[in-house]
Structure 1
Amino acid sequence: MLNRNEFLVLRSLAEQGEATQRNLAARAGISVGSVNTALRSLSAHRLIDESGAISDCGYRALQPFKTRSAVILAAGLSTRFAPLSFEQPKALFKVRGETLIERLIKQLQAADLEDIIVVVGHMKERFFYLEDRYGVTLIDNPQYLERNNHASVWAARDYVRDAYICSSDQYYPDSPFHRYEYESFCTLTPRGGATEESIAVNGRNAITGIQHNDIARSSNEQTCWVLQGPAYLREDDARAYLAHLEEAYPLASTRDKLWETLLLENLDNHPLSARKVAAESVIEFDYLGDLRSFDADFMENVDSAILDNICRTLNCARADIVDVEPLTEGITNLSVLFSCRGERYVYRHPGAGTDELVNREAEAHAMKIASQLGLDTSYLHEDPVQGWKLSKFIPDCEPFDYRNPDHVRDALAVIRALHQSGASSPWQFSFYDEGCRIANLMRSGDFPLPEDFEDLARMAEDLSSLQRAGAGRSVLCHNDFFGPNILIGPDGVCLIDWEYAAMGDYGCDLGNFIAQGSGYSIEEALDILPLYFGRPATDEEEQHLVSCTAIVGWYWYVWGLFKESQGSPVGEWLRAWYEAAKTFGRYAMQRYGRREAKRTELSEEEFEALVALERRTADSALPSDVAASLEERGLTRDGAITAAGLAALEPFRARRAIFFAAGFGSRMLPITVNTPKPLVRVHGTRIIDRLLDAVLAAGITEIYIVRGYLKEEFDQLLSKYPMVRFIDNPSFDSTNNISSAVLARDFFQNAYAFESDLLLESPQLVTKYQYRTNYLAIPVESTPDWCFTADATGRITSIAKGSQAPCWQMVGLSYWSEKDGARLADDLREVFESSDECQQIFWDDVALDRRPPHYRVYVRPCVPEDITEIDTFAELQAVDPRYRVAQEQS
């Protein structure tokens, strides 16, 4: 067995060939005398020949020390390298003309390792090319955000044997890697002056642990040794370390520990040697300034759209951007603070997943208004497409304090000024509707939902009528009005971060103020209302505030869960939002919910009158008896709808939409060979887009599309309609569309149901409220198509294919009330499962032919100009002549 000095000399000969004793001493890091002693021993054991060259026996003696693998840790965010790390991982920066991780891989490959593993997490897709270019293996660390780098070592545990473990962003002027290593070690570099921790090493060059220093005392010491550079673990030591890591992994105290800390905690089971090297042997770039000092041309050469954005906006050079510091306060985006020509600025970069949550055009529009009103004095520029923003830094700000009466008074005065400014936005924002949209995104994903997720969603739905009833007219709202966005500066209040600003409910700004970390009790929340109104609040206003706070808390809770599902934890905020939703929601239901427990009965005439008043389109000549009844019951006052009237309409509000889009569309060939019929473009717009736009315009965001044929093609809708939830029908080609309805049966309550090939010319047919279950239908003298007969009240009495007598031609757009939708869910399943024959019927037959006594379904009249069903390619050509021209040219 070789001793250490014999190994070092023999390895040097294997790597370098014949060499002088002085050269061998320099390579091995031992004295010339030790080299001479080792050479005599190696010669005696025939491990080197007479010329001093390594022999075959010498190579065999080195084999037990062969290095086998390397694990490169490259999963982290590198937040201290912001803003450049927002665009790409630090390991992919080019330094002095070489990509950091590529240079490292080449150095490792020169050591003839069996496996080189790169553990990735943040922007992992940017590393994919390394597999083809260098033959490395990528391993994903899914916990890179929640844990320190020990999670990366654990992810690569199958390769940690006779292995180097190294950081992807370190630069080694000379390669520290070898084909053979004698023992497990950590690399240490000297550091002079103060350091909180250093590595203790005994006289035998063995690491004995972490030494916690008195900074004042250590600053007077000449040298401390710190961990910096690669580590190496022989197989037995690696096995012992991984056993310790497996035992410690579940402990909460482990989550923030570096992998080396865990290594040094268990030295009794895996001893470590100290490999001391010169400080210049390992160059580590902790901050952007470190890299700029090492590579003077880095800032000029780095490919960075962020730097270009800043330079273009401030009309500066890259060299002017200095003193860059990451900011950690935000939970939606990534931001940095920097200086430029003596001024301080903040650059905001959109965070992961925010494209599905934030309307950047609306934000940019609102910030310009806020700047003009003097409410946001920090604003400089935002790109409304990409979402990046540049702001002036407001110095000497006090942290907003919810317990400081002056802070609260000034903040509420600012938000009141916004609401009373008369400013407007083309965009609307409803916390309840947006919460439903994000909840649907959550339901459609693989992220596990909490046990009471649906309970909270139902509570929010119950409270939505209370909230809508007291909303009043829409005003421009900030919609993220809470402590961190309220800067108390020397020149007054500056309200920042307008990401969610749009027209909406004034009460939701107050709800944000309370739900997002105020710590207010119900009583304390109600006590601040006079500061907003300038007078005592009415009972209705208190009711509105409480319901708004609950719904806002619920929205942010759902939002936070979505962010976590995207790999961006929101920390303690999630608990604060959850508690606000539950506390204020329970109070609202107990104190105010009873008022809505009994549904207000409305005649059809009263319903139509209230809907017209809600739209502000009522004819002044309402039937006197209808007007008197509504006024007497408190549903209107002085000819305008009241909060009670809005609440009376709430049970009739359409809440969801189902689209049947699974079929092949054979009669539309050849256009449907590669494109599902709903995605065919008519006059440049997809058929289904017109329907989806109409649904969204009616305030419906809970949307389901049942797909089958070429189902992946429907994914293209998500960029424009991220709220859509898909239901896949695997039997679309062996059953009729009843199978699609069975799959969507739980969503028919208060729901529109669409055939997805309807060309909608009159989007106003999709209304916010519907009085009863109905089908759109066109009165005709005769038709070969599907049609209805109806009695004098408009109730459908039969359905048939074709009629020679006057009838109602069916249009594939129906609405199902809460009661009928619930009943239909059971009937669809029972009929479908009753026989093979029933699997080949249309879903409409269930209510209109198989079980008509269970339902009261009515005709809703329309005209041919309102809507067209495109069944055949010839019909498509008739509607859009471009298809006729294209066919003639082909």
Structure 2
Amino acid sequence: MNNSKKEQNAIILAAGYGIRMIPINTEIPKGLIHIGDEILIERLIKQLHEADIYKITIVVGYMKESYNYLIDKYDVNLVENDDFMVKNNLHSLNLVRQEINNTYIIPCDIWCRKNPFLLDGQDSWYMISDEINHNTNLKVNEFNELIRSQNIENESSMIGICYINNQIKDKLINRLLEFDNDERYDNCFWEEILFEDDKMIIKPRFIDSTSVYEINTYEELRKIDSKSQSLNNEVLTLISKELNVSTHEIYNVEALKKGMTNRSFMFCCRDKKYIMRIPGEGTEKLINRKNEAQVYNLVNKYGISDKLIYINSVNGYKITEYINNSRNCDANNINEVKACMKTLREFHKLNLKVSYEFDLFGQIEFYEKLRNGNKSIFADYEETKEKVYELKRYIDLQPKDYTLTHIDAIPDNFLFYDDKVKMIDWEYASMQDPHLDIAMFAIYSYYDREQVDKLIDLYFDNNCEKSNRLKIYCYIAVCGLLWSNWCEYKLALGVQFGEYLQIQYNYAKTYYEIVEEEMVKSV
């Protein structure tokens, strides 16, 4: 054994969701992808062993249980990153910062033809490919320093493998701790700590671009190994079947980060674009997929939604045609909001019927139960709930024309294109008072009262009865409480919504007071 290797160790970062690897990552985490007859992370471990490096720590998060077998097989140490959904790998590395001492830091998605851990020399370095990359702002200057600038023409490719010796470990450990405690760096890669004044504090080390591959996407995997067993993916097989194409005709796969409930991605096939929806964590408890399929098949007949290609009434997988040159409604553009209210009113006038309804107060109770006895994060929740429930009496007394209602009629679910407007995402659609949709649009848009009143006037063409306006105020309070409970359930699953949760809860409190004031005035 090389004596210099005895004191070395390795940290493999494998906690991330790997959103760009969708849809492969719906079944396996990125580190367990197959290349040839090997698993990606196992190849890295074997190459470390070949270099007499046996002390290996792997930081896991997404599908963490999938990596447990490595403990017995290779005697590695697994460390869990429970915040992988809201923080990047800078946080992962900080969790194991005390392990940094003559250490290789390695991303789990690297495939190296030659063993990169047999390199001579004990100086710290960061691996750079000799391939030109126009998607970065990095360059090696004449002093063999890696710098970043906005005025670079010939950019360098960062590989991700790094060696940190004991001479600079303390400095980097301190910087890790400092950066990880600063929320500005929550979405940063760990390499941020290597830069001072836009210059990397360690030297670059070049490697031939043909001997190392970073595998971030489905198409990169297919390029390096078109016969990889990881390409035998349920979602890809489904797309292939429904569009009657081979999986090799599926290209330009791109994750769509928008959406509070689902993981969706866009893809191309035979010069057409599509969107594939894969339901997110916990949605099987929130959405009745059989009901959703019924709604989609109904509204699809009227051309008011995006074109449905496929929907599964059990698991919620859905394929729709992508609408080219489309955009979501801008809630601060009065003309676009006016068009949305016109579209919403026309949809309601269709008076479509389904066999089930959306029970507002029943859903609040349902979301509470999903918390499994855990109290709300809001100390005054019970008091707020009691006040909001007082509004039920007024709501029940008001006349209503029950019809199919979108329920989630938020600006993001209105698409503009070619002077037309489509409504999308009908997961919650049910029989309800259509005026509920106005309240939903308002609270998602974070409207103040003046904006709320303007929205109501747009829907009713400036002819809204006072009783209806007051009823919509009630709906705003109830829906605020409803969605704050929804957020609390998702929070328990590790899904964060930032200020959205607090804002929805504030609507519940504020609009109860508004209704109370208006009722006193009318007495």
Q: TM-score higher than 0.5 here?
A: yes
Structure 1 contact 184–271 (Cα < 8 Å) conserved: no
Task: State the superposition RMSD in angstroms.
Answer: 2.9
Spell out, residue by residue over 1:203-244, the C-alpha distance to the aligned partner (whole angstroms, 9 max, x if none).
5x6x5x6331404xx24xxxx544314212223532331122
- 2:428 aligned partner, one-letter code: Y
Structure 1 contact 348–389 (Cα < 8 Å) conserved: yes
Tell me, yes or no, if structure 1 residue 176 matches structure 2 residue 105. no
Deviation of 1:479 (Å): 0.6
1:210-225 equivalences under 5 Å are 210-215=147-152, 218-219=153-154, 224-225=155-156
Q: Tell me which residue corresponds to 1:520.
A: 447
Q: Tell me which residue corresponds to 1:482.
A: 410
Task: Give the length in aligned residue pairs.
Answer: 523
**Closer/same/farther in 2, CA of residues 185 and 179 from structure 1, 3 Å limit:** closer
Q: Tell me which residue corresponds to 1:283.
A: 213
Deviation of 1:379 (Å): 1.9
Spell out, residue by residue over 1:149-204, the C-alpha distance to the aligned partner (whole angstroms, 9 max, x if none).
1111112224322221100001100111149862322222224364643255675x
**Closer/same/farther in 2, CA of residues 539 and 232 from structure 1, 3 Å limit:** same
Of structures 1 and 2, the one with the larger relative CO (CA 8 A, separation 6+) is 2
Structure 1 contact 333–349 (Cα < 8 Å) conserved: yes
Q: Tell me which residue corresponds to 1:549.
A: 476
Q: Which moved more, 1:186-195 or 1:326-335?
A: 186-195
Give the share of equivalent positions with the same residue, in percent.
27
Q: Distance in 1 between matches of 2:296 and 2:519?
A: 36
Q: Tell me which residue corresponds to 1:559.
A: 486
Q: 2:192 aligns with which of 261, 265, 280?
A: 261
- 1:81 aligned partner, one-letter code: M
- 1:211 aligned partner, one-letter code: R
Q: Distance in 1 between matches of 2:509 and 2:289?
A: 30
Q: Tell me which residue corresponds to 1:33.
A: none
Deviation of 1:74 (Å): 0.7
Q: 1:450 aligns with which of 374, 378, 382?
A: 378
1:786-805 equivalences under 5 Å are none
Spell out, residue by residue over 1:818-842, the C-alpha distance to the aligned partner (whole angstroms, 9 max, x if none).
xxxxxxxxxxxxxxxxxxxxxxxxx
Q: Distance in 2 between matches of 1:177 and 1:403?
A: 55
Q: Tell me which residue corresponds to 1:96.
A: 36
Deviation of 1:595 (Å): 8.5
- 1:449 aligned partner, one-letter code: I
Q: Tell me which residue corresponds to 2:360.
A: 431
Q: Tell me which residue corresponds to 2:496.
A: 569
**Closer/same/farther in 2, CA of residues 538 and 506 from structure 1, 3 Å limit:** same
Q: Distance in 2 between matches of 1:390 and 1:371?
A: 13
Q: Distance in 2 between matches of 1:556 and 1:87?
A: 29
Partner-residue secondary structure (3-state), 2:171: helix
Q: Tell me which residue corresponds to 1:294.
A: 224
Q: Distance in 2 between matches of 1:507 and 1:439?
A: 25
**Closer/same/farther in 2, CA of residues 530 and 483 from structure 1, 3 Å limit:** same
Q: Distance in 2 between matches of 1:542 and 1:450?
A: 28
Tell me, yes or no, if structure 1 residue 402 matches structure 2 residue 312. no
Q: Distance in 1 between matches of 2:399 and 2:222?
A: 54
Q: Distance in 2 between matches of 1:336 and 1:508?
A: 30
Partner-residue secondary structure (3-state), 1:339: strand
Question: Normalising by structure 1, what TM-score?
Answer: 0.55
Q: Tell me which residue corresponds to 1:136.
A: 76
Query: 5+ unaligned residues in a row in structure 2: which ranges?
Result: none
Partner-residue secondary structure (3-state), 1:584: helix
Q: Tell me which residue corresponds to 2:18.
A: 78
Q: Tell me which residue corresponds to 1:509.
A: 437
1:117-136 equivalences under 5 Å are 117-136=57-76
Tell me, yes or no, if structure 1 residue 348 matches structure 2 residue 285. no
Deviation of 1:310 (Å): 1.1
Tell me, yes or no, if structure 1 residue 415 matches structure 2 residue 344. yes
**Closer/same/farther in 2, CA of residues 194 and 388 from structure 1, 3 Å limit:** closer
- 1:529 aligned partner, one-letter code: I
Spell out, residue by residue over 1:719-769, the C-alpha distance to the aligned partner (whole angstroms, 9 max, x if none).
xxxxxxxxxxxxxxxxxxxxxxxxxxxxxxxxxxxxxxxxxxxxxxxxxxx
Q: 2:107 aligns with which of 152, 167, 174?
A: 167
Q: Distance in 2 between matches of 1:522 and 1:559?
A: 23
Structure 1 contact 118–139 (Cα < 8 Å) conserved: yes
Question: Normalising by structure 2, what TM-score?
Answer: 0.91
Q: Distance in 1 between matches of 2:160 and 2:459?
A: 59
1:729-740 equivalences under 5 Å are none
1:657-672 equivalences under 5 Å are none
Q: Distance in 2 between matches of 1:457 and 1:527?
A: 27
Q: Tell me which residue corresponds to 1:371.
A: 300
Structure 2 contact 36–225 (Cα < 8 Å) conserved: yes
**Closer/same/farther in 2, CA of residues 521 and 85 from structure 1, 3 Å limit:** same
- 2:103 aligned partner, one-letter code: A
- 2:452 aligned partner, one-letter code: A
1:627-638 equivalences under 5 Å are none
Q: Distance in 1 between matches of 2:164 and 2:276?
A: 42
Partner-residue secondary structure (3-state), 1:334: strand
Structure 1 contact 67–180 (Cα < 8 Å) conserved: no
Deviation of 1:406 (Å): 4.5
Structure 1 contact 70–115 (Cα < 8 Å) conserved: yes
Deviation of 1:69 (Å): 1.9
Deviation of 1:572 (Å): 4.6
Q: Distance in 2 between matches of 1:546 and 1:448?
A: 24
Deviation of 1:321 (Å): 0.9
Structure 1 contact 471–544 (Cα < 8 Å) conserved: no
Deviation of 1:496 (Å): 0.6
Spell out, residue by residue over 1:88-111, the C-alpha distance to the aligned partner (whole angstroms, 9 max, x if none).
222222122322112112212222
**Closer/same/farther in 2, CA of residues 228 and 403 from structure 1, 3 Å limit:** closer
Deviation of 1:549 (Å): 1.3
Tell me, yes or no, if structure 1 residue 461 matches structure 2 residue 392. no
Partner-residue secondary structure (3-state), 1:574: helix
Partner-residue secondary structure (3-state), 1:72: strand
Partner-residue secondary structure (3-state), 2:416: strand
Spell out, residue by residue over 1:411-442, the C-alpha distance to the aligned partner (whole angstroms, 9 max, x if none).
23333344343432232212332123213333
- 1:212 aligned partner, one-letter code: S
Structure 2 contact 357–430 (Cα < 8 Å) conserved: yes
Q: Distance in 1 between matches of 2:181 and 2:474?
A: 40
Q: Tell me which residue corresponds to 1:34.
A: none
Q: Distance in 1 between matches of 2:60 and 2:71?
A: 12
Q: Which moved more, 1:527-536 or 1:391-400?
A: 527-536
Spell out, residue by residue over 1:453-498, the C-alpha distance to the aligned partner (whole angstroms, 9 max, x if none).
3343333222233333336353221110011101122262211101
Q: Distance in 1 between matches of 2:469 and 2:268?
A: 46
- 2:206 aligned partner, one-letter code: K
Partner-residue secondary structure (3-state), 1:143: coil
Partner-residue secondary structure (3-state), 1:145: coil
Q: Distance in 2 between matches of 1:142 and 1:549?
A: 34
Spell out, residue by residue over 1:831-868, the C-alpha distance to the aligned partner (whole angstroms, 9 max, x if none).
xxxxxxxxxxxxxxxxxxxxxxxxxxxxxxxxxxxxxx
Partner-residue secondary structure (3-state), 1:558: helix
Query: 5+ unaligned residues in a row in structure 1: which ranges?
Result: 1-13, 15-58, 597-890
Q: Tell me which residue corresponds to 1:228.
A: 159
**Closer/same/farther in 2, CA of residues 491 and 133 from structure 1, 3 Å limit:** farther
Structure 2 contact 111–213 (Cα < 8 Å) conserved: yes
Q: Distance in 1 between matches of 2:355 and 2:187?
A: 45
